[in-house]
A = this chain, B = another copy of it.
Amino acid sequence: MHPRLKAFYRVRSDRRSIEARALALAVEQSVEMPVAAIDDPFVRAEIIGQVEGITEKESGEFEVCIALACETVADDAGQLINMLFGNSSLQEDVVLDDVELPPALITCFGGPRHGLDALRERASARRRALTCAVLKPQGLSPAKLSDLARRFASAGIDYIKDDHGLADQPYSPFQARVEAVVNALQKISGAATCSYAPSLSGDLDAMRKQIEVARAAGINTVLVAPMIMGWSNFSCLVRENARIAFIAHPSMGGIARIAPALLIGKLFRLLGADAVVFPNHGGRFGYSPDTCHALARAALTRSDGLRPCLPVPAGGMSTARVREMLEFYGADVMLLIGGALLEARAQLERATAAFVAEVHGYAYD
């Protein structure tokens, strides 16, 4: 049998039914038809999903491991998620929990082209945690957004990203916004280590044009939402733009049905995310500390030979939480504060500088 990928599902079931349920899952995610009606020896040997293990995790909840044929993925990122969870995502009792890919598939997608180390280097930050602020709200003009960027950069922020709601709206067209922000940043002495990551939107053609605009303006980092743009398109942009670093936003990431550590930490990284934004525990989203820890660990792993991806916990963070977050995540992290800096209004530079000082001054060991 050729190497297979292993998909791990959490399934609600009783003990009497779990074997049949696991078999049904293996069929659903592979041949999707009655196995008895399949004659073809290649399909029987190589394509039908196989139940590799069933473990009771707690009463009424099982972990089911299913081995799926790599051939069905055909090196396409969209097919990867289609084969992992396409039909089962429509079933109430199952969550996609983890996946183990054989080396050939890992190499095929290739993971971050830059990752943690390159993002550190761009910010001239060798050991400390990185900092990130956000341009928002949507609705502001390019002039107003670029003024925000100027103020963040002058206070020493490493990365400034667009809010993921900023697209190519008439009140802030992508090109005008990018040019205004880059112009504003160029006027600041010492802002050479500040990177701006504009948000890409639209279909693949539109995103390619936006990357071209960004590249022409000297930008080397962009923000994308893999769950909205389509997995194959994300993978395509990563392959086409070797010099661009990609920050992945979890928009439409549907916490409930795919384990966040798998989706955001492991799979976004596999497709080439250099940094992944995710909701930190204790913010506006319901992720637990365990979930956040597992997600960051999945993003940072070097065990599979791909570059580590930078975790970016976010979603309602503030300077008051910096110390606690650094204790929790360590230095291999980019701290992102959005609204809490904007709330300082006229004191935005001071609030930002305090955030920067807190991160830079932490006693990294």
Contacts and interface: CB of A to CB of B under 8 A. Distances in A.
Contact of A206 (B46, B92, B140, B232): B232
Interface of A: 24, 28, 30-34, 36-40, 42-43, 46-48, 69, 71-72, 74, 76, 78-79, 81-83, 85-87, 89-93, 136-140, 144, 163-165, 167-171, 201-206, 225, 228-233, 235-236, 250-257, 279, 284-287, 338-340, 342-345
A60 to B, nearest CB: 16
A78 to B, nearest CB: 5
A91 B74 CA distance: 33
Contact of A89 (B71, B233, B252, B338): B252
B203 A235 contact: yes
Chain A binding surface SS class? loop
B81 A228 contact: yes
A61 B137 CA distance: 30
Contact of A140 (B43, B72, B86): B43
Contact of A257 (B24, B138, B256): B256
Contact of A34 (B165, B285, B287, B343): B343
Contacts of A284: 24, 28, 91
Given A30-B138, A33-B163, 20 more contacts: A24-B284, A31-B138, A34-B340, A36-B343, A37-B342, A37-B344, A74-B168, A76-B168, A78-B167, A90-B255, A91-B255, A91-B284, A92-B256, A93-B286, A203-B204, A203-B236, A228-B232, A229-B230, A233-B233, A256-B257
B229 A228 contact: no
Contacts of A256: 92, 254, 256-257
> Across chains A and B, which 6 residue pairs bring their CB atoms closest together, nearest first?
A230-B230, A31-B137, A47-B139, A86-B251, A43-B139, A33-B339
A22 to B, nearest CB: 14
Contacts of A137: 30-33, 38, 40, 43, 47-48
Contacts of A171: 42, 71
A144 B47 CA distance: 15
Contacts of A236: 203-205
B201 A76 contact: yes
A92 B286 CA distance: 7
